[in-house]
Amino acid sequence: MTTETGIGASVKRKEDARFITGKGRYTDDINLVNQTYLVFARSPYAHAKINGIDLEPAKATPGVVAVFTGKDLAADEIGDLPCGWMVKSKDGSDMISPSHPPIAIDKVNYVGEPYALVIADTPDAARNGAEAIEANFEVLEAVLSTADATSGPQIHENAPNNRSYDWELGDKDATDTAFDNAAHITKLDIVNNRLIPNAIETRAALGDFDSSTGNYTLYTTSQNPHVERLILAAFVNVAPEARLRVISPDVGGGFGSKIFVYAEETAVIWAAGKLGRPVKWRAERTESFLGDAHGRDHVTHAELAIDDDGKFTGLRVSTKANMGAYLSTFASSVPTYLYGTLLAGQYTTPNIYVEVQAVFTNTCSVDAYRGAGRPEATFVVERLVETAARELNMDPAELRRKNFIPPDAFPYETPVALTYDTGNYGISLDKALDLADVAGFESRRSDSESRGKKRGLGYSCYIEACGLAPSQVAISLGAGVGLFESAEIRVDVTGSVTAITGSHSHGQGHETTFAQLISDRFGIPFESVDVVHGDTGRSDYGLGTYGSRSIAVGGSALMSAADKIIAKGKKIAAHMLNSNEDNVDFADGRFTAADTNESLAFGEVAFSAYVPGNFPLEELEPGLSEKAFYDPANFTYPAGAHICEVEIDPDTGVTEIAQFVAVDDFGNVINPMIVEGQVHGGLAQGIGQALLEHGIYDADSGNLITGSYLDYAMPRADHLPDFTVDTTVTPCTHNPLGVKGCGEAGAIGSTAAVMNAVTDALGVIDMPMPATPETVWKVARGA
């Protein structure tokens, strides 16, 4: 059913009403009576021993309530921050996960690592106190380079060669044989630059302890409050799970960085219990730069084997992935199960072998950032394919088409452990070629040249795997949590509906999309549906929102719960209509008895459920409220074709995006307006990586040079073009909605398209990323 508010309609968002009027309620907008303020003392050194900390001057600072170090947390048996995914090395050994006390005790391992905390009556007093702390550091030599990490000074006692694991996937021998027999081999050395997530709302936490009940409440900027609660309770040991409520109110963007459990919220909730007063912390932007888990940072050598016909016969990839100083919450899974498994791309490449060394450096942790592993995989594959086309003097679109998995080959099992359920890559590429007017490119290129500019065209045909699943497989591969989603639908007496989801919206618009699903399914007004999320006190459980999983997993869970509501409604309707539940149909918001053709509206059945005047109670319970847990059978596989056209001024090195076309297959689309918006945002981040963004540490001091917006180049409105976006549809075969997910696609596909366009314009095989003006200028003049 497509109505003005149903599935497929670009319904305006419910949540906007509060956001555009300034009534959004973000963590830092919440204040509690008698609250205190927490400020961390952070390491100025990349690598140093802590020989002593003098807290007395801080304690004597006016307004300071308490000062703590890591030892105080340890004395209360607060545990390490864990990494939740066990990866095994080639030799079968477990990855090495160094001890990660929330507040450093003996040693600091990156600039910005907290080593003490000061709590005071005002933010200023807390800052004064933190400044007054005098720590005696013994500075050690630091390891900063991903490429050279394994030969640097050892950071953790239990991690020789600064290596966490040395992982592999695929058939090495078969792949080597393919290379032995190749007609052509394309090789690239690729550095995937480190990115800093930069949600505009910085992370924040407000902890509260009620001594009368022993209950803790943590308000925090989390993408997955239940996982936060589970980890804080079960692993970090701040409070029993049942005594800890985590509320993630409006959250101002996440992009992965708010999935993880960090030192700061751990310290906040622990200190709230310790002091018996609410404790608040809000990151200053600099703290976000220093401490929010960064993204990407791979160094890779990759080779593609091609036969005489231009068919890919083998892919060999060797990657060093920078983990930073510690393994963050899901860090280990990113360069392995979210990277190696995606290296088949959209192609039939029969032999693939990938090995990944995860290395430690004296830098902020690296974990999932929009796309998480999949952008890195796409970048490797699509840079190789484009380069191969140039080396073979073939049309890059044709070379891709020749190697696409054909539409009749699905389900398609790749040599890197995934089974793609469905797809039609050719139609997306065709549509993109058309929208980008690729046929007219050469004349546009001539026009640019006549103005002294260089013009280039780049493609990227990406695949992604969304809705990480099923739990059984993921857990067998080392995941520490399930990957299902929960849903609950409560039908009110008057027929309005509260839908409670374990997914979490931090910009995705679930209050709208999920309401569309429910309104469409129940045939009730969109306005009658309220979506609740982000509070462990209100939903049973939930895995939250990351990896473009909300609609495919959370939406499907809601559909399961909706099915149960309808089943129960049929029982009630059958009773009221003197029919049999098997004879009752539900459509367009009415329960109809097929035998009598008498019917009841959804609201009438709801009312009866709560006013069960003559229910046969032994067969029919009152009430209309159902729960479901949905565990998907497989990932979903969105895919698409991105085409970027750039114009470069060789004199200044400035690259302008002349046009960007993205055609994506997300399966069925619930709200096209929201989906387009997700694509736009992803494209901006992918283009940002290609042209602007780069997290850089000083090679000598280990300071983060890009520690503020004065140095980290965020994409602004005038860096970006208008985007041309469109979709094709092959519905997902294994979820009830036929949906695939759209949150990361833009960031996954676009970076390679931009770099392919820039290298095309400059007539070079390769160049460093980001393609900043100076880099482009140097390449353009052949330096």
Footprint on residues 595-624 left by other proteins (CB under 8 A): none
Closer to other proteins by Cβ: residue 427 or 720: 720
Stretch that binds other proteins, among 224-232, 249-257, 411-419, 618-626 (CB under 8 A): 249-257
Residue of the chain from 392, 696, 765, 767 that contacts other proteins (CB under 8 A): 696
Reported as half-sphere exposure (CB side, CA atoms, 13 A), residue 443 has a value of: 4
Cis peptide upstream of residue 411 (ω within 30 degrees of 0): yes
Residue of the chain from 299, 325, 669, 674 that contacts other proteins (CB under 8 A): 674
Residue of the chain from 508, 513, 516, 519 that contacts other proteins (CB under 8 A): 508
SS3 content of the chain, % helix, strand, coil (to 5): 30, 25, 45
Within 1-60, the residues that bind other proteins by CB under 8 A are 10, 12-13, 15-26, 28-29
Residue of the chain from 98, 640, 746, 749 that contacts other proteins (CB under 8 A): 746
The least distance separating other proteins from the CB of residue 646, rounded to whole angstroms, comes to 15
The least distance separating other proteins from the CB of residue 725, rounded to whole angstroms, comes to 9
**Binding of other proteins at residue 372 (CB under 8 A)?**
no
**Binding of other proteins at residue 252 (CB under 8 A)?**
yes
**Binding of other proteins at residue 676 (CB under 8 A)?**
yes
Within 322-361, the residues that bind other proteins by CB under 8 A are none
Question: DSSP character for 552?
Answer: I
The least distance separating other proteins from the CB of residue 767, rounded to whole angstroms, comes to 15
The least distance separating other proteins from the CB of residue 67, rounded to whole angstroms, comes to 19
Residue of the chain from 502, 509, 547, 554 that contacts other proteins (CB under 8 A): 509
**Binding of other proteins at residue 531 (CB under 8 A)?**
no
**Binding of other proteins at residue 258 (CB under 8 A)?**
no
The helix or strand, by DSSP H or E, that contains position 266, with its residue range, turns out to be: helix 263-275
The least distance separating other proteins from the CB of residue 571, rounded to whole angstroms, comes to 40
Reduce the secondary structure of 282-351 to three states and give it as a string: ECCHHHHHHHCCEEEEEEEEEEEEECCCCCEEEEEEEEEEEEECCCCCCHHHCCCCCCHHHCCCCECCCC
- CA 196 centroid distance within chain: 13
Within 108-167, the residues that bind other proteins by CB under 8 A are 124, 127, 131
Residue of the chain from 371, 555, 667, 681 that contacts other proteins (CB under 8 A): 681
Going along 20-133, which residue ranges are E strands? 36-42, 48-54, 64-69, 107-108, 114-120
**Binding of other proteins at residue 708 (CB under 8 A)?**
yes
Reduce the secondary structure of 169-202 to three states and give it as a string: EECHHHHHHHHHCCCEEEEEEEEEEEECCCCCCC
Reduce the secondary structure of 725-751 to three states and give it as a string: EEEECCCCCCCCCCECCCCCHHHHHHH
Closer to other proteins by Cβ: residue 408 or 718: 718
CA dihedral sign of residues 524, 526, 529, 533: positive
Residue of the chain from 328, 387, 685, 756 that contacts other proteins (CB under 8 A): 685
Going along 602-761, which residue ranges are E strands? 625-630, 639-649, 654-665, 723-728
**Binding of other proteins at residue 393 (CB under 8 A)?**
no
The least distance separating other proteins from the CB of residue 651, rounded to whole angstroms, comes to 5
Residue of the chain from 74, 477, 601, 673 that contacts other proteins (CB under 8 A): 673
Tokens 């540490």 belong to 697
Reported as half-sphere exposure (CB side, CA atoms, 13 A), residue 448 has a value of: 22
**Binding of other proteins at residue 379 (CB under 8 A)?**
no
The least distance separating other proteins from the CB of residue 508, rounded to whole angstroms, comes to 7
C-alpha–C-alpha distance, residues 588 and 612, integer Å? 24
461 to 500: interface string for other proteins, x by CB under 8 A:
----------------------------------------
Residue 29 to residues 19, 48, 209, Cα–Cα distance (Å): 13, 37, 19
**Binding of other proteins at residue 710 (CB under 8 A)?**
yes
Closer to other proteins by Cβ: residue 403 or 508: 508
**Binding of other proteins at residue 106 (CB under 8 A)?**
no
C-alpha–C-alpha distance, residues 532 and 248, integer Å? 11
Contact in structure between 584 and 591 (CB atoms under 8 Å): yes
Tokens 């791309």 belong to 345
Closer to other proteins by Cβ: residue 114 or 682: 682
Residue 117 to residues 129, 245, 268, 275, Cα–Cα distance (Å): 9, 23, 9, 13
**Binding of other proteins at residue 629 (CB under 8 A)?**
no
Contact in structure between 371 and 748 (CB atoms under 8 Å): yes
Residue of the chain from 178, 602, 712, 751 that contacts other proteins (CB under 8 A): 712
Under rule CB under 8 A, how many of the chain's residues touch other proteins? 78
Residue of the chain from 720, 729, 765, 767 that contacts other proteins (CB under 8 A): 720
Q: Regarding beta strands 215-220 and 244-247, do their DSSP bridges make them parallel or antiparallel, or are they unpaired?
A: parallel
DSSP 416-464: TS-EE----HHHHHHHHHHHTTGGGHHHHHHHHHHTT-EEEEEEEEEE-
Closer to other proteins by Cβ: residue 8 or 773: 773
**Binding of other proteins at residue 680 (CB under 8 A)?**
yes
**Binding of other proteins at residue 578 (CB under 8 A)?**
no
Taking Cα atoms as reference points, which of 726, 742, 757, 730 lies closest to residue 431?
Answer: 726
Residue 761, SS3 per DSSP = helix
Residue of the chain from 316, 490, 504, 694 that contacts other proteins (CB under 8 A): 694
The least distance separating other proteins from the CB of residue 289, rounded to whole angstroms, comes to 10
Tokens 């921050």 belong to 81
**Binding of other proteins at residue 201 (CB under 8 A)?**
yes
Closer to other proteins by Cβ: residue 90 or 716: 716
C-alpha–C-alpha distance, residues 467 and 666, integer Å? 12
